[in-house]
Amino acid sequence: MWKKIKASLGLNKAELAAEAEAKATAAREARTKRAEAKAEAKAEKAKAKVKVLSAKDEATDKGEPWVEIVGMEVDEKDPGQGAFELDWNDIFVAKLIRAGYQGKTDQDIVDNWFKTVCRNVVTETYEQDQADPEKRNERRRDLGNGRTEVS
């Protein structure tokens, strides 16, 4: 009688085993897909966390000196007054020390270097202006006998 019921329902051991195996395979595949998706999401998250090196960090990693102007302030009432904000790496400071710059702190050393750079810019501009006859402020005074005083 039991055989007839199973036969009428279409249930036999081979079919049940195949059905159970198909369900198990589908479950394994689903777990594998979830695990792969999780791993991919984790890899993407790790990529996002990878820090992009700044120019300063890149130079430091390469052992190169680095300095950059990161900010500038200008007095609105007196545009001739202002300040620069610099950033640098330790290798740059070491290079300045080897070049003879001195100071109590790294900031003092870099400040002394920047003052020298600014002084050189002013000096060069002044010398170029003095070399240009159109910009020169010279006074001539006739001293007589074919002589002229130039000041």
Mean pLDDT, range 27-36, rounded to an integer: 79
Q: Taking 80 as the threshold, does the pLDDT of residue 109 lie above it?
A: yes
Q: How many CB atoms lie within 10 A of CB 89?
A: 21
pTM of the model: 0.55
At 131 the pLDDT is 75
pLDDT at 42 over 90: no
Burial 33-56 (b: 16+ CB within 10 A, else e): eeeeeeeeeeeeeeeeeeeeeeeb
